[in-house]
Each structure stands twice: as C-alpha cells, then as structure tokens.
C-alpha cells in the first residue's frame, strides 16, 4: 500500500482554494442580483415624477408656516393656517372672488375641498403652487396690508401678471388667472401624515 507523497499536498491545497474562490464569487453574484430586486420595492425617481404619491410628515410645520414638496414635477404647498388665517378666509366676501365655490372645471376641485377653506382639515391648506394663468409661481403667504397688490387681504400674489389669491387659493375677480389654485388629490393617513397624489377611500 503506497503512502501519499509530499507533491500531492500542494495540489489538494490549490483545489481547495479554487473551490473557496468559486463559492465566494457565486455568493457575491447572488447578492448583486438581489440588490436591484429588493430596491425595486421602493418607488424610483421616474415613478415619483410620473405621479407616485408622496407621503409628508406634518409635525415639523409650525402654525403660519408653509412647506413645499414635489409631486408629478409640480410644487405642492402645505400651509398650516393659524386661527387668524382661517378667519381671513372666512371673512372674504364671495362677490370679490371669481369662483368662490370652486365650481369651474379647468382645474377640478376634489369634492372634499369644495368648501370655503378648500381643505379637509381647516388647519391645512394643500395646493399646487402654480398660477392658473400662465404657470408662474405665486409668492406668499402674505399678511394683510403687506403688499400693495393684495391691499387689506391676506393671500398669495403672482408677481408675473398680478393675479392674487386668498389663503384658500381662490382667485380674486378681475385678475389674469381664470381659476383657483389646483387642489391635488390627497388624504390623511394619520393626524400628522398626509399622502399627496392619492385620495382613494379618503
């Protein structure tokens, strides 16, 4: 019976090293294949741009402040109105507004926002921050008597052509903008979280 020679030992070592390397490469390949599969569960930037809903935490917005997020490539305002701001909206006479009840259909208002405050919750006003005239970006919110264009009214001003809107996004009469600011579909997932772009079962 012959005994193993010393020359066989390096060959076994090389074979073992090759097997380990092959397993390591196979494992790395499996991980690489898994990464895009797992990442596919998160909405891509392309999906977001195409209109994927956007979840927003409201807890960081202080009363009187406004946060802007992006949905479908458009700026969406979330204004946390103070009690004083809400009163400003309520006291605006309907005969001074072009569409006080949001009945025009160029930018249809969701049924749950067809009220004077144009919101689900009076405290939060959510609207697309694009003027309905030529697509400019209005500025605000502005307090009463802080801008000549708004005068005693609180609201938003489109500096391009002078359209003015109240704190519910309703356009004042005799302005270039033909319609109120658009209210996007949205719903509340909790008291502190709103979903922009989806109002199913709202």
pLDDT in tens, 104-149: 988 899 999 999 999 999 999 999 999 999 989 999 999 999 999 9
Is the Cβ–Cβ distance between 89 and 167 less than 8 Å?
yes
What's the whole-model pTM score?
0.75
Task: Measure the CA–CA gap between 92 and 113, rounded to whole angstroms.
Answer: 17
Mean pLDDT of 93-105: 95
Annotated catalytic residue 186: no
The Cα 148–Cα 157 span in angstroms is 10
The backbone torsions φ and ψ at residue 16, rounded to the nearest 5 degrees and listed phi first, read -65, -40
Q: Please give the angle made by the CA atoms of 8, 11 and 17, to the nearest 5 degrees.
A: 145
All structural domains of the chain with their residue ranges: 1-42, 47-196
Burial (CB < 10 A; 0-12, 13-18, 19+), residue 23, is exposed
- Catalytic: which of 16, 90, 96, 161? 161
Least confident of 18-27, 58-67, 159-168: 18-27
Q: What is the pLDDT of residue 30?
A: 46
User: How far is residue 27's CA from residue 21's CA, in Å, rounded to a whole number?
Assistant: 10
What average pLDDT does the segment 1-11 reach?
A: 50
- What average pLDDT score do residues 25-50 get? 49
* Class level of CATH domain 47-196: mainly beta
At residue 40 the predicted structure's pLDDT band, cuts being 50, 70 and 90, is: very low
């Amino acid at each position: 019976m012959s005994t193993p020679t010393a020359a066989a030992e390096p060959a076994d070592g090389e074979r073992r090293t090759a097997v380990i390397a092959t397993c390591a490469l196979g494992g790395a390949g499996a991980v690489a294949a898994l990464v895009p599969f797992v990442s596919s569960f998160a909405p891509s930037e392309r999906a977001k741009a195409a209109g994927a809903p956007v979840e927003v935490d409201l807890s960081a917005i202080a009363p009187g402040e406004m946060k802007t997020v992006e949905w479908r490539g458009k700026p969406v305002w979330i204004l946390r109105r103070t009690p004083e701001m809400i009163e400003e909206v309520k006291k605006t006479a309907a005969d001074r507004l072009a569409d006080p009840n949001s009945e025009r259909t160029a930018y249809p208002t969701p049924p749950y926002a067809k009220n004077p405050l144009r919101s689900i919750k009076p405290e939060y006003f959510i609207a697309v921050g694009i003027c309905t005239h030529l697509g400019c970006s209005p500025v605000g919110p502005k307090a009463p008597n802080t801008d000549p264009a708004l005068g005693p009214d609180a609201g938003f001003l489109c500096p391009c052509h002078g359209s003015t809107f109240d704190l519910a996004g309703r356009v004042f009469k005799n302005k270039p903008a033909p319609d109120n600011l658009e209210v996007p579909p949205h719903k509340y997932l909790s008291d502190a979280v709103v979903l922009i772009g989806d109002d199913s079962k709202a």
